[in-house]
């Protein structure tokens, strides 16, 4: 399909962002918003076209394109090329990104009241970076896009949130710290594979260390360097501290993108690099990863239970969910792997939904303290029902998208070759313990906000300060929720149910890719 | 004629999936109906719902007919749901058991929906209630028709969700939402245990039995699968798997120690409570137990475990019910206790008697809850039986049907007689004296609390002003219908059960054994007599006894009244132990992990301060720094050289 | 005549620059005040014509001129063109400064041209004597340049610069004298011959360390970097831009040539240089964190960048030098862009404290976008050439082997702090403020410099294959 | 006549080193800018001594060290002049030649 070009997919948001930033674009809030919304919807449609023409049985990269500048490869002399490729795995994440960016932009209508001129371009630049990460076929291209996400995210967190820039700084420092170690690993990998093969190349596939040319400790060194970068992003427990703070201090659409897509970059990186390049080291480290995953799962859940800020609950829910991803990847089996990827997709939707709920509530009550909330079901019933669907998804009830993921991970864990079996059974027991805890804190969140006596400080109209410092009164419609919010929530709810009822619709897309990766590991 | 019937029934069986999706369609219709303000019609909602459940009933009856005609014939249709290392299918599976369950479930659903119209008519959330009921129908039908273990699990959890929704129906009431949450979480604990068991089963089916991958753990092959499993794994592992699966069943059937949530069901609207306690979530547990029976029966110790749990729950539940004052609580504990007995039946190997007992209990309990609900509404929401009395004069229908239900439930007459007697027979056959005695004790206590409730409510002095008869026609109609069913169903089913519903080979139900029957009746009416003396006749001796028993400091009474403090213990466990642990983690998160970053930031600041202060502005200090660095480096290099030359390198 | 041929063949640009020094001096005698605009045009003309002349010199093969005291080859031509490009943009952004001191405009440019000449000669120098002369020429002109503003601070900064410079020169001379004593020659070619088979000695190692550390003065690296923030603080923006680029470029060109000859015989040198580099980065990032004055900030910032460039010189090979060259190109443009941006702001508001930038993002989004890109380039974030430049430096070190990973690790960790440093101005720019910042759009040249250099900074990242090939070519020619 | 002290290369070098160190010491310690400049002359000329010494002992044919020392002298003077100029203009502002007071810019 000629009209399906990955560079267009990746760079069009960037170009649109520059267009909005340029002095020629009318400085009109509504025009900017509508324009970016229209673009995001078009972009989503375009990305689904990739799915439409995607052949799930195709072996290897389905779409591939090298971007050249005046017919010269990007860094030709170093063997580094700007090659983009898309296989089933990338495609899943690309569509997720595009979908969530679209929702974030729709949600921005009620969440963002100031600085539109900069906000929408930043979101679109972020989208470009994310898409680039998921499509990059070259190690350093991957790194470039990985870093590119940093600055827009910094501003999105610090400028439209709680005005607490320390959280944004924390995010930047953590991420950059991780990515620096990642860069170290990449560089060492790149040069040492050069010294073995004699070919300077940074293509992800050709860097693979399947043959045992290097000492194991050396491979493990690189592996850990890379893992560190992804661990900060995913996040894995000792490196997760940025997540809750960044989530809490950023505005809803940004948190949606953060929980929905940014965390997935970590998982994607682990799949592409740690599994794809170091199958043997990975299988040695797998038990460790499973333990880390379980720690994530339980630690996140335990923290979520005692939080009093509802957004923090959601943040720790994300932490907990990502633990399951790690467990699935560590299980080294097809079911576990697919479960992990499915979990990432599903968590993207569910966490976005929860964050959207929290955002809607916060906008109207001006508080996120759980003790100060209650009785919202009486003022915004529609929100409650949609919220119920999302919460059930978060708990992992069957026929919602959370269940197939968890189930596959659990079975995959048992199916893995790791010895001893008792260890695996223990891990399974701990995982399901996490499932019970999730029911606890999600229901707590749901009940304490929606049920109980009516809230006194709930206001259907909210005073906000616009760019010029004037007060604008925003009146919410009768049911307590605006149309754009309903659209976002119901799209998410629909997606959650759809993927729960038809998990194969996602699994089929990347089945072949996961086969390739796992076959590679078994060889 | 017969041929035509066969053809028709075959057609119905083949298209049984319609039953599953009809309620969903109705949900959609009700949703559309209710969201158009000027068209919203309660009648239409009722008709749609009744239509769907009636159609379900028709389908079920024809399937049953089909199953009777073709004994041991299975109908199974599957589609792939999820495929990875293994494939998971969804499908429908009709055999005798599921057909029978389907008949009763749809029937009770029909009755309950009919009842609800009158009961919920004035409620603002009328449509929502019917939506829930239809969702419930979807889930329970999906569960009953499930073709494999995983599908069962899926719908089992969904039934749990609907139960949660129904309990929390009046979500403005704190107690309702709290009970709903509790029910959900306790069920969830059971569910995940079950899930572990299922995951292990899936694992074995994938590893040892790869030919069966297509439909993992289908019920048609479960027997074979578990036998393979039994031969593969050690006894202890098998026991562990069995216990895990049974834990799921325990949660659903409200067995010790996960029985407390059943009291929460009373927070739901009465018809919903009736549904949940009869063919709702508890039925899920029993049905699952029947489905997994091939697994349980292979292990002797597992069967003993089941029996033990069952009898303990039966006794504790009945014991607790004896002292409760809230009518609905009495009935709820009674459910837990009765289901314990059903499990005892499974444990002693009386498969068909257990199912029989369960079916009878289901219809009876539905009747009693419906009557109870109507009654409480008539009494201006007064649920405490101590403040009721002499309701028989004003509400004769309720009194009569309640009496029928009570008599039946304690196994004296009507349907209950057949089921209880056959179960008792099996228990006696089992040959454990403690068990038999326990069973008799259970019968005694059940009869006692049922008669106590009856006497306190319907007889005796008038204690409170009884309001007018709460007489919607749908309510009366449904109660009458259900009473008739309670009276006759045992008689109808008594013959066919052992032939029709059995495990592996037909076992004839043995309910006619003069000695046993007389013993049972003696116990029941003995209990009835004591209750009569205590609450009706006002016999002096008994009164003193009663007052002694009801003394606040009397431990047996306190235990009974507070349901053995299970609530308190679990709360303590959650609050003091678990939450403290979580707070400890929170502390670590804030001050240890968060502290690392703070320390790093601080170090950076300190460094920055040092570097910036060292920039004094005096050029001499700059020169000094440069010279210090330079001479330091020079000195080190020189020393290294000298050392090198000394070492002879 | 031999002398004239040398000039004609290889040193026409220098001649032109020297000529313009005199032209400026000459003109300053007759024209003043009204002709300040003309002076800028003349200076531009001078740089452009020198640039044109560069195209005409004979670079291949290496041309030895003036008794082999100066050489001309691809390498020097490359550096000279860098210097001229930098000077060109510096002159472009000098608009406001010369407007301020009208009468001295020509003198300003004559000193500037002196400095350019010194830098170009330093690039070409092929013996220590000419190098010293060029260094002093560059140095003295720079001291003068930094003293040009009519306030006390300029004088103070100049004096600090001078004294640091003298010490550095003395250390340089001392080191050179020992090398001279050991080898008996000051010419690089002869030095190379003389050193062949030399086993190396303590004195030689110490001498080379002294020379290198003295040269760090010119490239604003530790141990002689403390003067940098003060000097930038005291001088005007264009002069700051000049000081942060031209001496650095020239210094690196000389340093790498010196190291190429010396480092094989002085094994400790590599590690010492890397330690110097890490010290420099450390000094830069931690110093910059607390700065509120933008020019001081720029001072620290240029030491950070120099530190990264110095890092690759720990081991001198073609790959490292090519990555240094690429870094220099990128640094040139991003530094010019940032100085242009800052001076644009200073010229319209008259403030250079960081607080003045509060809320710029809202009144001048396009300007802010450019500044974001430039600061990202400084921090080493994509999609700017700063990222690639840092990437090459890191890759060059990673390539050296596992022993150097510890240096790499420290540098990477310091980069994390570096990101915080460069995010600080950005954060301020986005802070909400009620006052509206009025930035008149008159400074066309400055604007051109800002946007062109920003664009180049970004394009260098994308269209980098050719540039890198080019750099490698030059590095291999050395 | 026997020479008591046979003055060789090393004596010159040591002399230069001593002068160099004295100069550096002076630069680090002296408060007065003029003294500072004088010390600067010390260190520059110390290097000059080195060059001359090496030229006469090592590089006898070319004597490029001698030329070098001439250049050093020239530039030293140039820098000295510049220093004095700056001192004068600084004195206008500060009325002091104390180098420790020239700390307007720091941190």
Please write the tens of the pLDDT for every residue from B298-326. Answer: 888 999 999 999 999 999 999 999 888 88
The Cα C81–Cα A112 span in angstroms is 49
The whole-number pLDDT of residue C102 equals 66
Residues of C in contact with B629 (CB under 8 A): 213, 222-223, 279
C399: nearest CB among A69, A184, A191: A191
Alpha-carbon distance C190 to B382, whole Å? 113
**Residue B313 Cα distances to A523, B250, B346, B561, C65, angstroms:** 54, 10, 14, 16, 107
Nearest CA in chain D to C166: D40
C-alpha B349 chain-centroid distance: 22
CA distance C361 to C433: 10
Question: Residues A477, A479, A483, A489: what is their CA dihedral angle, to the nearest 10 degrees?
Answer: 150
Q: Count the domains in chain D.
A: 1
| pLDDT number for residue C341 | 92
Give the pLDDT band of residue A211 (cuts 50, 70, 90): low
Measure Cα distances from A466 to A162, A248, B307, C242 in Å. Answer: 15, 22, 69, 43
Beta carbons of C160 and D83 less than 8 Å apart: no
Q: In angstroms, what separates the C-alpha of B629 from chain C's closest C-alpha?
A: 6
Question: In this complex, do A169 and C423 lie within 8 Å of one another by their Cβ atoms?
Answer: yes
Secondary structure of B561-622 in HEC code, one letter for each residue:
HCHHHHHHHHHHHHHHHHHHHHHHHHHHHHHHHHHHHHHHHHHHHHHHHHHHHHCCCCHHHH
- Quote the minimal CA–CA distance from A411 to chain C in Å: 40
- SS3 label, residue A2: coil
What are the chain D neighbours of C147 within 8 Å (beta carbons)?
A: 86, 89
Tokens found for residue A510: 């990347």
Give the residue extent of every domain in chain A. Answer: 6-522
Say yes or no for a CB contact (<8 Å) between C391 and A147: no
pLDDT higher at A420 or B405: B405
Name every chain A residue with its beta carbon within 8 A of the beta carbon of C426: 151, 155
Helix ranges restricted to H, B36-148: 42-69, 96-120, 126-144
Confidence band of A476 (pLDDT split at 50, 70, 90):
low
List chain C residues with CB under 8 Å of A117: 365
Residue B468: its pLDDT value, please? 58
Least confident span in A86-95, A193-202, B43-52: A193-202
Q: How high is the pLDDT of residue B213?
A: 47
Residue D17 domain flag: no
Q: What is the mean pLDDT of residues B108-118?
A: 90
pLDDT of residue B516: 84
Least confident of A360-369, A418-427, B509-518, D40-49: B509-518
Query: Is B606 in the C-facing interface, judged by CB distances under 8 Å?
Result: no
Residue in chain B closest to D27 (alpha carbons) equals B620
Residues A216-226, mean pLDDT to the nearest whole number: 89
Instruction: For an interface test with D, give the residue of C111, C149, C164, C184 to mutate (most D CBs within 10 A).
Output: C184
When pLDDT is averaged across residues C378-397 and rounded to a whole number, the result is 89
What residues have CB less than 8 Å from B127, skipping those under 6 apart? B30, B31, B33, B34, B40, B42, B45
* Spatial distance between the Cα atoms of C334 and A391, rounded to a whole number of angstroms: 49
- Residue B430 predicted with pLDDT over 60: yes
Q: How far is CA D54 from the centre of its chain?
A: 18
Closest partner CB to B83 (pick from A302, A447, A507) = A507
Positive/negative CA dihedral, A495, A497, A501, A503: positive
**Which pLDDT band holds residue A317 (cuts at 50, 70, 90)?**
very high
The overall average pLDDT reported for chain B is 86
CB-based burial of residue B570 (10 Å sphere; 0-12 exposed, 13-18 middle, 19+ buried)?
A: middle
**Out of C164, C168, C222, whose CB is closest to B629?**
C222
Chain D touches chain A, with at least 3 Cβ pairs below 8 Å, answer no
Residue B215's pLDDT is what? 53
Name the range with the highest mean pLDDT among B253-257, B491-495, C78-82: C78-82
Q: Give the pLDDT score at A260.
A: 92
Q: Residue C373 is encoded by which pair of tokens?
A: 């890109």
Are A432 and B80 a contacting pair at CB < 8 A?
no
Q: What is the pLDDT of residues C262-273, one digit of tens each?
A: 988 888 888 999
Do B617 and D99 make contact, defined as CB atoms within 8 angstroms? no
How high is the pLDDT of residue B649? 57
* Chain position carrying tokens 């550390």: C213
Of residues B209 and D106, more confidence is placed in: D106
Residue with tokens 């390198």: B649
Q: Answer yes or no: do A435 and B192 touch at CB < 8 A.
A: yes
Q: What is the pLDDT of residues C223-282, one digit of tens each?
A: 899 999 999 998 999 999 999 999 999 999 999 999 999 988 888 888 999 999 999 999
Cβ atoms of residues B480 and B397 within 8 Å = yes
Are the beta carbons of B86 and A411 separated by less than 8 Å?
Answer: yes
Average pLDDT across chain C, whole number: 89
For A487, other C-beta atoms within 10 Å of its C-beta total 14
A455 confidence band (pLDDT: 50, 70, 90) = low
C16's CB contacts (< 8 A; 6+ apart) are C46, C49, C50, C53
**Residue ranges of D 30-89 with Cβ closer than 8 A to chain C:** 33, 36, 40, 43-44, 46-48, 50-51, 53-54, 57-59, 62, 64-65, 67-68, 71-72, 75, 78-79, 82-83, 86-87, 89
Provide the domain limits for residue D83: 31-96
Task: Give the neighbours of chain A: at least 3 Cβ pairs within 8 Å.
Answer: B, C
| Average pLDDT of chain A to the nearest whole number | 87
Check pLDDT > 90 for residue B95.
Answer: no
Chain B CB contacts of C167 below 8 Å: 623, 626-627
Q: What are the tokens at B561?
A: 């009244």
Q: Which of the residue ranges A144-158, B469-483, C126-140, C165-179 would you say has the lowest mean pLDDT? A: B469-483
Test D27 with B623 for CB contact under 8 angstroms.
yes
Q: Which residue of C has its CA nearest to A150?
A: C381
Count CB-CB contacts under 10 A for residue B410.
31
Q: Is the pLDDT of residue A462 over 80?
A: no
Chains A, B: CB contacts within 8 A come to 127
**Residues counted in chain D:** 107
Of B516, B552, B369, the C-alpha closest to B453 is B369
* Contact state of B181 with A447 under an 8 Å Cβ cutoff: yes
Retrieve residue B137's tokens.
Answer: 């129908």
Q: C327-381, pLDDT tens digit by residue?
A: 999 999 999 999 999 998 888 888 888 888 888 887 887 888 899 999 999 998 8
Task: Report the range of poorest mean pLDDT among A20-29, A465-474, B255-264, B478-487.
Answer: A465-474
Q: Is the torsion defined by CA of B384, B388, B392, B397 positive or negative?
A: negative
Instruction: List, in sequence order, every beta strand (DSSP E) within C8-87.
Output: 63-65, 70-72
Q: Is residue D82 part of a domain?
A: yes
Torsion angles phi and psi, residue A72, rounded to 5:
-115, 135
- Per-residue pLDDT of C26-49, as tens digits, reads 888 887 667 778 888 999 999 999
Q: Which residue has the higher pLDDT, A319 or B433?
A: A319
Q: What are phi and psi of B329, to 5 degrees?
A: -65, -40
User: Are B129 and B123 within 8 A, CB to CB?
Assistant: yes
Residue B66's pLDDT band (boundaries 50, 70, 90)? confident
What is the ipTM for the molecules in this complex? Answer: 0.89
**Contact between residue B416 and residue B356 where contact means Cβ atoms under 8 Å apart:** no
Q: How far from B161 is each of A427, B132, B527, CA to CA, in Å?
A: 26, 10, 38
In the prediction, which pLDDT does B33 show? 84
Say if the Cβ atoms of C167 and D90 lie within 8 Å.
Answer: no
- Whether residue A224 is predicted with pLDDT greater than 50 in this model: the reply is yes
**Which residues of C touch chain D, with CB atoms under 8 Å apart?**
127-129, 132-133, 136, 140, 143-144, 147, 152-153, 155-160, 162-163, 165-167, 169-170, 173-174, 176-178, 180-181, 184-187, 229-230, 233-234, 290-291, 296
Tokens of C386: 């700063």
Q: Is the pLDDT of residue A456 over 70?
A: no
Q: For residue B38, with 0-12 CB atoms within 10 Å meaning exposed, 13-18 middle and 19 or more buried, which class applies? A: exposed
**Considering only CB atoms, which chain A residues are within 8 Å of B83?**
504, 507
CB pairs under 8 A between B and D: 32
Find the CB nearest D99 among B618, B624, B627. B618
A409: nearest CA in chain B?
B199
Instruction: Give the count of beta carbons closer than 10 Å to the beta carbon of residue C406.
Output: 11
- The nearest alpha carbon in chain D to C181 belongs to D54
Tokens of A479: 């049911």
pLDDT at position B627: 93
Interchain CB distance below 8 Å, C230 and D106: yes
Sign of CA dihedral C55, C56, C60, C62: negative
Which chain C residues have any C-beta within 8 angstroms of a chain A C-beta? 361-362, 365-366, 369, 372, 376, 381-383, 387-388, 391, 394-395, 398-399, 402, 405, 408-409, 412-413, 415-416, 419-420, 423, 426-427, 430, 434, 462-466, 468-469, 472
* Interchain pair C286, B627: CB under 8 A: no
CA–CA separation, A295 vs B351, rounded Å?
43
Backbone angles phi, psi at B293, to 5 degrees: -55, -40
Q: In B, which residues are within 8 Å of A478 by CB distance?
A: none
Q: Is residue A224 less than 8 Å (CB to CB) from chain C?
A: no
Q: For chain B, which residues make up each domain, given as ranges? A: 372-561, 564-615, 619-649
Q: How sure is the predictor about C404, in pLDDT bands with cuts at 50, 70 and 90? A: confident
Q: Is the predicted pLDDT of residue C150 greater than 90, yes or no?
A: no
Residue of C160, C163, C283 lying closest to B611 (CB–CB)? C283
Locate C59 and state its tokens: 């670079």
DSSP letters, C155-221, are: HHHHHHHHHHHHHHHHHHHHHHHHHHHHHS--BHHHHHHHHTT----HHHHHHHHHHHHHHTTTTT-
pLDDT at A193: 82
Partner residue opposite C177 with nearest CB, options D50, D67, D93: D50
What is the mean pLDDT of the segment spanning B336-357? Answer: 90
Are C234 and D86 spatial neighbours (Cβ–Cβ below 8 Å)? no
Determine contact: B5 vs chain C, CB below 8 A. no
């Amino acid at each position: 399909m000629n009209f399906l070009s990955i560079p267009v997919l990746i760079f069009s948001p960037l170009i649109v962002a520059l267009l909005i930033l340029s002095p020629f674009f009318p400085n009109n809030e509504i025009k900017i918003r509508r324009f970016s919304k229209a673009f995001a919807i078009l972009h989503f449609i375009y990305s689904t076209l990739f799915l439409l023409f995607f052949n799930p049985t195709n072996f290897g990269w389905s779409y591939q394109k090298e971007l050249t500048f005046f017919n010269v490869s990007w860094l030709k002399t170093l063997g580094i090329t700007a090659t983009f490729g898309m296989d089933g795995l990338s495609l899943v994440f690309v569509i997720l990104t595009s979908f969530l960016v679209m929702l974030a932009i729709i949600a921005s209508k009620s969440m963002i009241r100031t600085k539109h001129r900069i906000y929408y371009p930043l979101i679109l630049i972020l989208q470009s970076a994310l898409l680039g990460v998921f499509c990059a076929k070259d190690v350093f291209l991957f790194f470039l896009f990985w870093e590119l996400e940093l600055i827009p995210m910094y501003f999105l967190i610090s400028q439209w949130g709680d005005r607490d820039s320390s959280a944004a700084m924390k995010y930047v420092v953590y991420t950059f710290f991780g990515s620096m170690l990642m860069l170290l690993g990449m560089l060492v990998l790149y040069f040492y594979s050069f010294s073995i093969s004699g070919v300077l190349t940074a293509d992800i596939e050709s860097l693979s260390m399947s043959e045992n040319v290097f000492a194991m400790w050396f491979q493990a060194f690189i592996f850990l360097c890379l893992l560190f970068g992804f661990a900060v992003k995913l996040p894995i427990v000792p490196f997760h501290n940025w997540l809750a703070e960044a989530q809490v201090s950023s505005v809803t659409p940004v948190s949606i993108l953060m929980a929905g897509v940014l965390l997935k970059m970590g998982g994607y990186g682990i799949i592409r690099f740690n599994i794809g390049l170091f199958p043997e080291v990975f299988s040695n480290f797998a038990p460790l990863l499973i333990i880390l995953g379980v720690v994530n799962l339980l630690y996140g859940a335990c923290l979520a239970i005692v939080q009093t800020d509802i957004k923090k609950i959601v943040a720790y829910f994300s932490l907990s969910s990502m633990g399951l991803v790690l467990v699935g990847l560590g299980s080294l089996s097809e079911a576990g792997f697919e479960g992990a990827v499915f979990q990432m997709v599903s968590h993207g939707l569910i966490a976005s939904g929860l964050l959207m709920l929290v955002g809607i509530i916060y906008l109207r009550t001006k508080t996120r303290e759980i003790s100060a909330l209650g009785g919202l079901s009486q003022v915004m019933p529609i929100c409650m029902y949609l919220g119920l669907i999302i919460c059930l998804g978060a708990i992992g009830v069957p026929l919602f998208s959370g269940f197939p993921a968890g189930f596959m991970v659990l079975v995959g864990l048992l199916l893995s070759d790791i010895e001893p079996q008792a260890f695996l059974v223990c891990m399974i027991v701990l995982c399901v313990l996490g499932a019970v805890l999730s029911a606890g804190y999600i229901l707590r969140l749901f009940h304490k906000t929606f049920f109980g006596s009516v809230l006194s400080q709930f206001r259907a109209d909210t005073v906000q300060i616009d760019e010029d410092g004037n007060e604008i009164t925003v009146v919410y419609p009768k049911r307590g929720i605006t149309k754009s919010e309903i659209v976002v929530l119901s799209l998410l709810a629909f997606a959650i149910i759809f993927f729960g009822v038809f998990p194969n619709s996602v699994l089929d897309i990347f089945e072949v890719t996961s086969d390739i990766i796992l076959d590679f590991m078994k060889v | 004629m017969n041929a035509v019937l066969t053809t028709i029934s075959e057609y119905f069986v083949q298209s049984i999936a319609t039953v599953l999706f009809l309620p969903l369609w109705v949900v959609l219709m009700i949703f559309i109906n209710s969201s158009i303000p000027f068209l919203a019609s309660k009648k239409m909602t009722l008709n749609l719902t009744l239509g769907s459940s009636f159609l379900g009933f028709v389908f079920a009856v024809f399937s049953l007919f089909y199953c009777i005609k073709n004994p041991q014939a299975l109908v199974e249709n599957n589609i792939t749901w999820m495929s990875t290392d293994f494939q998971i299918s969804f499908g429908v599976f009709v055999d005798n058991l599921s057909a029978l369950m389907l008949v009763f479930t749809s029937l009770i659903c029909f009755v309950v929906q009919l009842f609800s119209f009158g009961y919920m008519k004035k409620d603002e959330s009328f449509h929502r209630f019917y939506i829930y009921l239809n969702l419930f129908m979807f889930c329970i039908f999906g569960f009953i028709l499930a073709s494999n273990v995983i599908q069962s699990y899926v719908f089992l959890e969904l039934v749990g969700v609907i139960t949660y929704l129904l309990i929390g129906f009046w979500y403005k009431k704190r107690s309702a939402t709290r009970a709903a949450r509790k029910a959900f979480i306790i069920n969830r604990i059971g569910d995940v245990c079950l899930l572990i068991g299922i995951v292990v089963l899936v694992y074995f089916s994938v590893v040892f039995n790869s030919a069966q991958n297509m439909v993992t753990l289908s019920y048609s092959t479960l027997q074979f699968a578990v036998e393979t499993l039994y031969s593969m794994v050690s006894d202890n592992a098998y026991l562990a798997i069995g216990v895990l699966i049974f834990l799921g069943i325990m949660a659903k059937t409200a067995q010790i120690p996960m029985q407390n949530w059943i009291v929460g069901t009373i927070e739901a609207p009465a018809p919903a409570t009736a549904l949940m306690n009869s063919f709702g979530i508890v039925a899920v547990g029993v049905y699952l137990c029947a489905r997994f029976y091939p697994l349980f029966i292979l292990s002797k110790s597992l069967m003993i475990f089941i029996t033990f749990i069952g009898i303990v729950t039966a006794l504790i539940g009945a014991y607790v019910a004896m002292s409760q004052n809230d009518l609905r609580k009495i009935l709820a504990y009674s459910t837990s206790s009765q289901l314990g007995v059903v499990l005892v039946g499974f444990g002693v190997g009386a498969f068909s008697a257990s199912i029989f007992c369960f079916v009878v209990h289901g219809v009876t309990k539905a009747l009693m809850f419906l009557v109870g609900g109507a009654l409480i509404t008539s009494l201006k929401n007064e649920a405490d039986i101590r403040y009721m009395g002499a309701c028989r004069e004003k509400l004769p229908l309720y009194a009569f049907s309640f009496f029928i239900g009570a008599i039946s439930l304690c196994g004296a007459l009507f349907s209950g007689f057949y089921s209880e007697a056959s179960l008792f027979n099996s228990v006696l056959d089992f040959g454990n004296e403690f068990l038999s005695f326990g069973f008799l004790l259970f019968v005694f206590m059940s009869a006692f609390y049922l008669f106590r409730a009856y006497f306190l409510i319907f007889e005796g002095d008038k204690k409170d002003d009884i309001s007018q008869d709460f007489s919607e026609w749908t309510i009366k109609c449904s109660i009458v219908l259900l009473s008739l069913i309670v009276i006759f169903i045992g008689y109808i089913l008594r013959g066919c059960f052992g032939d029709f519903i059995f495990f592996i080979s037909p076992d004839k139900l043995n309910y006619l054994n003069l000695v046993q029957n007389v013993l049972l009746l003696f116990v029941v009416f003995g209990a009835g007599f004591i209750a009569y003396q205590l609450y009706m006749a006002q016999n002096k001796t008994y009164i003193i006894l009663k007052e002694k028993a009801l003394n606040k400091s009397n431990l047996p009474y306190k235990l009974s009244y507070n349901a053995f403090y299970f609530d308190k213990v679990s709360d303590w466990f959650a609050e003091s132990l678990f939450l403290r642990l979580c707070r400890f983690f929170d502390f670590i998160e804030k001050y240890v992990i968060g502290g690392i970053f703070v320390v790093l930031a601080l170090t950076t600041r300190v460094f920055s301060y040092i570097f910036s202060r060292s920039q004094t502005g005096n050029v001499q200090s700059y020169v000094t720094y440069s010279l210090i660095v330079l001479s330091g480096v020079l000195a080190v290099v020189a020393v290294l050289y000298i050392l090198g030359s000394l070492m002879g390198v | 005549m031999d002398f004239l041929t040398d000039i004609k063949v290889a040193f026409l640009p220098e001649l032109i620059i020297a000529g313009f020094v005199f032209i400026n001096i000459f003109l300053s005698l007759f024209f003043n005040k009204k002709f300040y605009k003309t002076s800028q045009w003349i200076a531009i003309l001078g740089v452009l014509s020198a640039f044109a002349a560069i195209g005409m010199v004979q670079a291949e093969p290496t041309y030895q001129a003036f008794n082999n005291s100066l050489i001309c080859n691809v390498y020097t031509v490359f550096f000279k063109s860098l210097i001229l490009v930098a000077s060109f943009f510096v002159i472009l952004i000098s608009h406001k400064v010369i407007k301020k001191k009208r009468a001295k405009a020509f003198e300003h440019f004559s000193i500037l041209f002196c400095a350019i000449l010194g830098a170009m000669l330093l690039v070409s120098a092929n013996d220590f004597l000419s190098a010293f002369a060029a260094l002093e020429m560059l140095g003295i002109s720079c001291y003068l340049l930094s003293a040009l503003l009519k306030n006390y601070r300029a004088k103070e900064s100049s004096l600090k610069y001078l004294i640091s410079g003298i010490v550095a020169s003395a250390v340089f001379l001392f080191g050179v004298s020992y090398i001279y004593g050991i080898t008996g020659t000051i010419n690089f070619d002869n030095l190379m011959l003389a050193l062949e088979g030399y086993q190396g000695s303590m004195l030689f190692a110490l001498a080379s360390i002294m020379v290198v550390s003295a040269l760090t003065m010119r490239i604003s690296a530790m141990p002689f970097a403390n003067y940098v923030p003060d000097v930038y603080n005291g001088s005007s923006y264009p002069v700051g831009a000049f000081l942060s680029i031209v001496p650095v470029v020239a210094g690196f060109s000389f340093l790498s040539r010196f190291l190429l000859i010396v480092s094989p015989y002085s094994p400790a040198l590599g590690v010492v240089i890397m330690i110097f580099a890490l010290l420099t980065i450390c000094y830069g990032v931690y110093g910059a964190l607390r700065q509120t004055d933008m020019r001081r900030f720029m001072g620290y910032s240029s030491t950070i960048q120099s530190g990264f460039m110095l890092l690759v010189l720990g081991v001198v090979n073609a790959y490292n030098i090519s990555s240094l060259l690429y870094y220099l190109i990128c640094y040139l443009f991003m530094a010019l862009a940032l100085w242009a941006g800052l001076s644009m702001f200073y010229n319209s508001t008259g403030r250079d404290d960081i607080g003045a930038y509060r809320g710029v993002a809202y009144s001048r989004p396009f300007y802010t976008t450019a500044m974001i890109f430039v600061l990202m380039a400084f921090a080493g974030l994509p999609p700017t050439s700063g990222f690639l430049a840092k990437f090459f430096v890191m890759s060059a070190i990673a390539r050296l082997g596992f022993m150097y990973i510890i240096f790499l690790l420290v540098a990477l960790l310091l980069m994390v702090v570096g990101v915080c440093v460069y995010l600080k101005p950005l954060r301020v720019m986005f802070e909400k403020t009620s006052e509206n910042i009025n930035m008149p759009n008159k400074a066309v040249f400055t604007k051109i410099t800002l946007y062109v250099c920003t664009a180049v900074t970004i394009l260098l990242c994308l269209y980098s294959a050719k540039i890198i090939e080019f750099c490698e070519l030059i590095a291999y020619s050395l | 006549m026997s020479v008591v002290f046979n003055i060789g290369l090393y004596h010159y070098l040591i002399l230069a080193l001593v002068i160099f160190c004295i100069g550096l010491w002076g630069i680090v310690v002296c408060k007065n800018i003029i003294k500072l400049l004088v010390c600067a002359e010390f260190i520059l000329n110390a290097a000059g001594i080195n060059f001359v010494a090496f030229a006469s002992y090592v590089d006898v044919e070319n004597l490029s060290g001698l030329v070098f020392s001439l250049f050093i002298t020239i530039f030293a003077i140039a820098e000295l002049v510049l220093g004095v100029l700056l001192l004068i203009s600084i004195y206008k502002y500060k009325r002091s030649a104390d180098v420790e007071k020239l700390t307007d810019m720091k941190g």
